[in-house]
Amino acid sequence: MQTTIDLATGSLAGEVTTSERRIADLAGFFADEAARAALPQDTIVYRVQMHDKEAEGTPGGLLFGTSFVYPGKVGDEYFMTKGHFHAKRDTAEYYFCISGRGALILMDEEGNCWAEKMERGTLHYIPRSVAHRLANTGEEVLAVGCCWGADCGHDYASIARTGFAKRLREVDGEPKLG
């Protein structure tokens, strides 16, 4: 069966697997833990669809998926993904924004942290050894197409331990990284 991507919404159909993260899964990731704990715990924060993982772990292979980050905030901090380094640090990734508005938050291994604005059509190269996280700053679902090496792996532990050096918050109605 031919796998397809809806270029209006980012949705994949065909040979696809889906995973999701809810508020209950994200203890410790947001600055305001009390605000997180007070939200309905089954609220979906983000969802990832992946083209079938046949290639996973294969050197030279590639994987493709769409990340969907839902609109919302925990306190003044935008809904976001956990974020990760690649386990194999020297591996890059491509993102392109399909719908919604948001930010790609990046951090190198020295803790330098910056963000790139995302809206439909922005194309983003995530260099090697740079951690990455998506945040939704808009009112609609942020959908982002992603392509990465099948043997990159994911190191979530470093981020769970130290976090990103900056957070994306709504300040006076605008996203601010600080």
Residue closer to a copy of itself, measured from CB, 21 or 154: 154
Q: Determine how many CB atoms are found less than 10 A away from the CB of residue 13.
A: 12
Regarding 6 and contact with a copy of itself (CB under 8 A), the answer is: yes
CA dist 8 and 98 (Å) reads 7
Residue closer to a copy of itself, measured from CB, 20 or 119: 119
HSE toward the beta carbon, residue 63, CA cutoff 13 A: 26
User: Which residue in 20, 38, 112, 117 binds a copy of itself (CB under 8 A)?
Assistant: 117
Regarding 55 and contact with a copy of itself (CB under 8 A), the answer is: yes
Regarding 94 and contact with a copy of itself (CB under 8 A), the answer is: yes
CA dist 160 and 30 (Å) reads 11
* Choices 73-81, 114-122, 132-140, 170-178 (CB under 8 A): range interacting with a copy of itself: 114-122
User: Which residue in 26, 36, 81, 91 binds a copy of itself (CB under 8 A)?
Assistant: 91
User: Which residue in 23, 30, 36, 51 binds a copy of itself (CB under 8 A)?
Assistant: 51
Mind giving me the DSSP string for 28-95? TTSS-HHHHHHS-TT-EEEEEEEE-GGGTT-TT-EEEEEEEE-S-EETTEEPB---BB-SSSS--EEE
19 with 47: CB under 8 angstroms?
yes
Binding site residues, a copy of itself, CB under 8 A: 2-7, 12, 14, 51, 54-55, 58-62, 64, 88, 90-94, 96, 98, 116-117, 120-123, 125, 127-128, 145, 147-150
